Amino acid sequence: MNGDWEFGTTAEPLDRFARAVIELTDGTRISLVDRRALSSIMLDREGTSSLPKLGREASDEALDADYLLEALKKKKIAIKPALMNQSVVAGLGNIYAAEALWEAEMDPRRSAAKVSRPKLERLVDAIRLVLSPKKRLPGRYTDKRGASRFAVYDREGKVCRRCGGAIERIVQAGRSTYFCSSCQRG
């Protein structure tokens, strides 16, 4: 509602509304500046907080096929909602989950626990590709000619750029999934 974390240095005067301050040995100071003192901070010494457990970051090198194999082996859900589960992969949202599955030619409806290791390797490469800065221009959903910059996302009824099939839309776990059933068969 109010207040924010501010980054500065220990050489600067402390904001008079700083409610909590973390100072690092390199001189970095992180202050919670909250004029109305509405924020609360929880110190989790024992690792027992109710904060959600997060999986590996989508853009982290440590996200590999071995990790996904382990993280997905008990997931009795389809691969698309599994990829969006933050305890499996942190930071992969609806758009890029769909785009990565298209790149990997993987059916978003297939069972997460049954995806083979080679296919997971391909999926990891696809996640890296769709999140790469070249593919990911911030804030733009269309290119200069007004064409969607996504392969499948929000392209229901349009032609698949790989196989010429029609992009379909289904709902999985309450979210729209766009995919091409002609070429996403893996």
Binding site for Zn ion (CB under 5 A): 160, 162-163, 165, 180, 182-183
Separation of alpha carbons 29 and 131, rounded Å: 31
**Contact call for residues 149 and 143 (beta carbons, < 8 A):** yes
User: Smallest distance from the beta carbon of 61 to Zn ion, in angstroms?
Assistant: 30
- Report how far apart the first and last C-alpha atoms of the chain are (Å, whole number): 45
Q: Does residue 158 contact residue 142 with C-beta atoms inside 8 Å? A: no
Residue closer to Zn ion by CB (options 96, 102) is 102
Contacts of 179 by beta carbon, 8 Å cutoff, 6+ apart: 98, 101, 102, 107, 108, 152, 167, 168, 170
Select 14 or 159, whichever has its Cβ closest to Zn ion.
Answer: 159
Task: Tell me the C-alpha distance between 31 and 64, whole Å.
Answer: 35
SS3 at position 100: helix
Minimum CB distance to Zn ion, residue 176 (Å): 18
Q: Which is nearer to Zn ion, 59 or 148 (by Cβ)?
A: 148
Query: Least distance in Å: CB of 182 to Zn ion?
Result: 5
CB of 170 to Zn ion, least distance (A): 15
Minimum gap (Å) between residue 181 Cβ and Zn ion? 8
Nearest to Zn ion of 176, 182 (CB atom): 182
Cβ atoms of 115 and 80 closer than 8 Å: no
Nearer to Zn ion, 56 or 162 (CB): 162
